[in-house]
């Protein structure tokens, strides 16, 4: 009888200890501390710069000019990877794309039909003030810099003369900063949802469709996969 009681006590002690260890293990794995992040963001690109005119023509030759259909807002897509390299500091690299709208350029002979895309390529330093906790709610703020590349892509040409250069379109690049903020909501130790807002001041050195200021704010929701940790 005494042997059975002792064996039962030891078994219960083992189960309690094992359960407690698993709980602690799960607690330690939950959160963002020492974890890398990889994910996607989808949302809205809200223009805060200057919109190109609906049409413009050369003062010398009215058969040379363009027509544009760029709106105040457009769809924005972004992929990113982030690495927690020190305590509450996380480094992030991102690559985004937005189609700002249709552009038609005519030069008196050919008519180029295409779209204007903008590609932000950015590196951020983000601060997570609650990263040392196991809270599901993880707010952050970040500042970064990088390149903003805008390219007028020619999809097809209507006219009698075709040459390689007409399919290259035109492009501009600006190196500038960016500011972002938002929060993560942890679904598990491996996945999290995100709400992100990012301000991007974009001012090209030369006019693109007669405009240099293409600044914008993006508001996106995302999902991220978490790896590493304790």
Domains in the chain, number: 1
> 173-211, pLDDT tens digit by residue?
999 999 999 999 999 989 999 999 999 999 999 999 889
Query: Of 153, 152, 143, which is closest to residue 201 (Cα–Cα)?
Result: 143
Task: Tell me: pLDDT of 62 over 80.
Answer: no
Q: How far is Cα 225 from Cα 88, in angstroms, rounded to an integer?
A: 18
Q: Give the per-residue pLDDT at 7.
A: 56
Residue 18 lies in a domain: no
Whether 12 is covered by a domain: the verdict is no
CATH of the domain at 125: 2.40.160.20
**Averaged over 72-90, what is the pLDDT?**
95
Residue 39 resides in a domain? yes
Asked if residue 98 is part of any domain, the answer here is yes
* CA–CA separation, 59 and 94 (whole Å): 41
Q: What's the domain range around 206?
A: 31-228
Residue 207 lies in a domain: yes
**CA gap 220, 95 in Å, rounded:** 14
Roughly how many angstroms between the first and final C-alpha of the chain, as a whole number?
Answer: 44
Residue range 164-177: average pLDDT? 75
Rounded Cα distance, 41 and 218, in Å: 10
Share of the chain above pLDDT 70, in %: 81
Residue 63 belongs to a domain:
yes
3-class state of residue 15 by DSSP: helix
Q: Look at residue 40 and give its three-state secondary structure.
A: strand
Q: Is the pLDDT of residue 20 over 50?
A: no
Q: Please report whether residue 140 resides in a domain.
A: yes
The 10s digit of each residue's pLDDT in 109-141 is 778 888 999 999 999 999 999 998 888 999 999
């Amino acid at each position: 009888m005494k042997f059975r009681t002792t064996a039962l006590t030891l078994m219960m002690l083992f189960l309690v200890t094992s359960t407690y260890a698993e709980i602690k293990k799960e607690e330690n794995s939950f959160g963002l501390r020492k974890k890398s992040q990889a994910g996607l963001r989808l949302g809205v690109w809200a223009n805060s710069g200057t919109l190109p005119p609906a049409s413009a023509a050369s003062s010398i030759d009215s058969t040379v000019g363009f027509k544009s259909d760029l709106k105040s807002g457009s769809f924005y897509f972004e992929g990113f990877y982030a690495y927690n390299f020190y305590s509450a500091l996380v480094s992030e690299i991102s690559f985004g794309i937005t189609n700002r709208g249709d552009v038609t350029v005519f030069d008196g002979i050919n008519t180029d039909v295409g779209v204007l895309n903008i590609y932000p390529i950015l590196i951020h330093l983000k601060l997570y003030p609650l990263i040392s906790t196991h809270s599901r709610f993880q707010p952050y703020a970040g500042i970064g810099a990088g390149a903003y590349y805008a390219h007028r892509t020619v999809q097809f040409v209507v006219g009698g003369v075709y040459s390689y250069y007409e399919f290259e379109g035109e492009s501009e690049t600006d190196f500038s900063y960016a500011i972002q903020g938002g929060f993560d909501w942890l679904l598990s130790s491996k996945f999290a949802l995100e709400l992100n807002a990012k301000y991007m001041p974009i001012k090209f050195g030369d006019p693109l469709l007669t405009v240099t200021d293409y600044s914008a704010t993006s508001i996106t929701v995302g999902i991220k996969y978490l790896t590493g940790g304790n």
